[in-house]
A and B are shown apart, each in its own frame.
Chain A
Amino acid sequence: MNSRETILAAVRKNQPPAAALPELSLEPTNSADPVQTFIRSLGNIGGTGIDVHDWKQIDDQLHDRFFGVGPMDKYDTPIKE
């Protein structure tokens, strides 16, 4: 039995009795647009919020604001849409 199986067997064996989830509302309590609320809060502490919708727009913003040296093809992007 490898360590993974050992741990899973111990967890299964020692399971506490199931308890009901507490009554918690997971719905937002504020009906305002959360993105705009966040951008406004960010602005209040000196930041700048930019609403973008795809990776290309992020690339363009980074290029315009920070690099200004041409296309960012050479930079590795963490998320490929």
Chain B
Amino acid sequence: MTSRLAITGVNFAVAETGEIVVCTNEGNADLGVQLADVHIACMGIEKIIPKRKHLGIFLRLLARSATGQPITTYSSHFRRPRNGQAMHIVLVDNGRSERLASPDFRNALKCIRCGACMNTCPVYRRSGGHSYHYAIAGPIGAILAPGLDMKKHADLPFASTLCGSCSNVCPVKIDIHDQLYKWRQVLTQNHQVGTMKKAGIETMARVLAQPGLYKTVGKVMRWFLNNIPFVINNRLNPWYRQREMPKPPAKSFQQWYAENRKAK
């Protein structure tokens, strides 16, 4: 409340009028800006839309896809500082202009940060945002992060089932799951896939390619999880440090289906 400086993000900037638009449901940005002597707004260069008449479409898309609201509670337009206040707008590139040159990945710049891809992603819903170790979590974070630092974020494009639900719900039609798949290829070509991960994927491919082996491995894993879970659920396994595995089923779907089909 007593801070003399307020920093906000920017949801949209309108080229026609020079205004910036900040959307919040709590009014936190407005409170900060109205109380402070200095307002600093930071925005990616992809936030610029051509005209004000386009803004309504984006505002509706954002709120509808983020929380299902018709519009955010506060959609604040800033065109100039109030009397006595200083206002600065920082346009951030940070690799965006380079990303524009890539036909495979430039579509990610269309993101309006609604979060719909996170809400629908089966991996995100199980693992949570912190497991992505990047400011933007979920499927969209997994395609943005490697563009900034391929080595640091090489694991993220693999955190997906490639089910395509993210692309299906994306209001600006980003081909997210296609880009995740392409990133995997780029990372492999650039030798950013670790030996353990590579061996694990190859082993999994062999198991999935052989139905008999798949059934046997399934039985063995269910037995381990039911009888001696500490072999897998221990401190050496990073997944279990903060999470519990759901109780495994007594039988596989295949066994259940065979038994029930016989009964009928």
Contacts and interface: CB of A to CB of B under 8 A. Distances in A.
Interface range on chain A (Cβ under 8 Å from partner): 10 to 19
Contacts, number: 33
B82 A78 contact: yes
B98 A14 contact: yes
B97 interface: yes
A24 interface: yes
Interface of A: 3, 6-7, 10-11, 13-16, 24, 26, 76-78
Contacts of B53: 26
A14 B45 contact: no
Contact of A10 (B56, B84, B98, B103): B98
Contact of A16 (B54, B82, B103): B103
B16 interface: no
Interface residues of B, number: 16
B101 A14 contact: yes
B57 A24 contact: yes
A76 B37 CA distance: 13
B93 A7 contact: yes
Nearest to B109: A16
B100 interface: yes
Nearest to A41: B70
